[in-house]
Amino acid sequence: MKLFKFDKVYAHCDIPCGIYDPSPSRIAAETIVKMVTLIDGIKDEYRNSPSDVNVLNSITRYILVKEEHARICKNEILILWTDYFKEEDLKIVPDLHSKVWDTVKLISYNKQNVDLEKAKELLTKVNEIGDIFTKVKEERLKNG
């Protein structure tokens, strides 16, 4: 039981402040799955004609987009972790830290590898963090 409850006074630094959303991380994870699927689809063609500039161009673009969205995904997850979630949210989600840790490690794996199963696993984990975000937000609204 809390003996004292203090009103909050804000010292915001973000513009726009206090607006957080898990959607960018989900879109980035979906993009990673899509890029891995495209790389998988073109890899035989690349193996057979590695000097074909068009094949080389396509595969380079897919890798570039995968890399960029992995960076976005990691950044967005870390923003939620450091700025949105608070210590008291651990009461609602006790394993929050390990879930975030596993997710960002999986993002790194997806940067280093082309592995459709792991890309899909990443999307599942990112969606899970999105669900946690919604749950925490609902709890905060309930508690005022």
Partner 1 sequence: MIFFKIFKVEGTSMHPTIYNRNKILVSYIPYLFKNPKINDIIVAKHPYKNIYIVKRITKIEKGGYFIEGDYILSSDSKEFNMIPKKLILAKLLFIF
Q: Which of 17, 19, 53, 141 is in the footprint of partner 1 by CB under 8 A?
A: 17
Task: Give 6 or 117: the residue with its C-beta nearer to partner 1.
Answer: 6
Say whether residue 10 binds partner 1 (CB under 8 A): yes
Say whether residue 11 binds partner 1 (CB under 8 A): yes
Q: Which stretch binds partner 1 (CB under 8 A): 5-13, 90-98, 104-112, 123-131?
A: 5-13
Please list, residue by residue across 47-86, b when 16 or more beta carbons sit within 10 angstroms of its beta carbon and e when fewer do. eeeeeeeebeebbeebbeebeebbebbbebbebbbeebbe
Q: How far is the CB of 11 from partner 1 (least distance, A)?
A: 4
The CA angle 118-64-42, to the nearest 5 degrees, is 70
Inter-residue contact 49 to 55 (CB < 8 Å): yes
Rama region for 19: left / alpha / beta (φ>0; ψ in -120 to 50; rest): beta
The CA angle 99-75-136, to the nearest 5 degrees, is 45
Say whether residue 141 binds partner 1 (CB under 8 A): no
Q: Which stretch binds partner 1 (CB under 8 A): 9-17, 63-71, 93-101, 102-110?
A: 9-17
Q: How far is the CB of 112 from partner 1 (least distance, A)?
A: 32
The structure tokens 């596993």 sit at 102
Task: Give 14 or 131: the residue with its C-beta nearer to partner 1.
Answer: 14
Q: Which of 1, 3, 9, 141 is in the footprint of partner 1 by CB under 8 A?
A: 9
Q: How far is the CB of 41 from partner 1 (least distance, A)?
A: 43
